[in-house]
Amino acid sequence: MKEKKLLQALGNVDEGYIAEAYEVAPKRKKTKTKLIWAAAAVLCAIALLTAGAAWERIYVATNDLDQYPLVNPAQVADEAIRLTVEEVTASSLRVYCTIDGVEYGKNSIYILEDGPFTIEKKTENGWEALPTRFTDPEWKATRVLTDGDYDWPVNWSGSYGVLEPGTYRYQTVVLEGKAPSCVEFTVTDGPKEELVALLRTTLDSSSYCVRNRVTVETSSLEHLNATDRAGIESITQDSVIEYWKHGDEEMKLTYVEDKLVGGFMHKNGLNYTLMFEGDASYNPILGWSRWTELKRDRLFEWAGLILDTGEYELRGAADGSGMELVQVEERTYEEYGVTAIWTSVWEFDISDPSACAAQLEQQDVDAASPFSWELEKQSREAQTVAFVNTEPQPITTAPEAVERALAEYSGDYTRAIVYRDETAGMWKVEFQDDYGWKGYCYIYMNDNGITQMIAEGEPRVW
Partner 1 sequence: MDDQQIIELYWNRSDEAIVQTQKKYGRLCYKIAYNILGSHQDSEECVNDTYLRAWDVIPPKRPQKLSAFLCRITRNQALKRYESNTAEKRGGGEVPLALEELAGCIPDSSSVTAVTEQRELTRKFNEFLSRLPAETRRIFLRRYWGLESVRDIAQTLRLSESKVKVTLHRTRKKLKTYLEQEGIVL
Quote the CA–CA distance of 400 and 418 in Å, as a whole number. 10
Smaller CB separation from partner 1, 206 or 234: 234
Kind plus residue range of the DSSP H or E element containing 441: strand 440-446
183 near 151, Cβ under 8 Å?
no
Whole-number Cα distances in Å, 322 to 194, 202, 345, 350, 418: 14, 11, 12, 8, 39
Residue from the set 72, 206, 237, 393 that interacts with partner 1 by CB under 8 A: 237
Instruction: Output helix, strand, coil percentages for the chain, rounded to the nearest 5.
Output: 25, 40, 40
Whole-number Cα distances in Å, 273 to 217, 253, 266, 401: 31, 10, 9, 17
61 near 32, Cβ under 8 Å?
no
Whole-number Cα distances in Å, 33 to 72, 116, 148, 458: 12, 18, 21, 25
Q: Residue 176 is which amino acid?
A: E
* Bridge partners, residue 59, by sequence: 141
Cβ at position 270, least distance to partner 1 in Å: 19
Residue from the set 76, 95, 216, 325 that interacts with partner 1 by CB under 8 A: 216
56 binds partner 1 (CB under 8 A): no
For every residue of 176-203, DSSP letters joined together read TTSPPEEEEEEE--GGGHHHHHHHHHHH
String marking each residue 185-214 x if it binds partner 1 according to CB under 8 A: -----------------------------x
179 near 78, Cβ under 8 Å?
yes
Residue from the set 167, 206, 234, 396 that interacts with partner 1 by CB under 8 A: 234
17 binds partner 1 (CB under 8 A): yes
Q: What is the DSSP letter of 70?
A: B
19 binds partner 1 (CB under 8 A): yes
312 binds partner 1 (CB under 8 A): no
298 binds partner 1 (CB under 8 A): yes
364 binds partner 1 (CB under 8 A): no
Stretches 11-19, 181-189, 316-324, 443-451: which one binds partner 1 (CB under 8 A)?
A: 11-19
String marking each residue 82-121 x if it binds partner 1 according to CB under 8 A: ----------------------------------------
159 near 133, Cβ under 8 Å?
yes
Residue from the set 281, 321, 339, 397 that interacts with partner 1 by CB under 8 A: 281
Quote the CA–CA distance of 98 and 147 in Å, as a whole number. 9
Cβ at position 234, least distance to partner 1 in Å: 6
Smaller CB separation from partner 1, 143 or 428: 143
Coil, helix or strand at residue 36: helix
Q: How far is CA 96 from the centre of its chain?
A: 22
Q: Which of residues 442-461 bind partner 1 (CB under 8 A)?
A: 461
293 binds partner 1 (CB under 8 A): yes
Cβ at position 3, least distance to partner 1 in Å: 4
How many residues bind to partner 1 according to rule CB under 8 A?
61
Binding interface with partner 1 (CB under 8 A): 1-24, 26, 60, 62-64, 140, 142, 144, 151-153, 214, 216, 234-239, 241, 254, 256-257, 261-262, 280-282, 293, 298, 301, 305, 331, 333, 435, 461-462
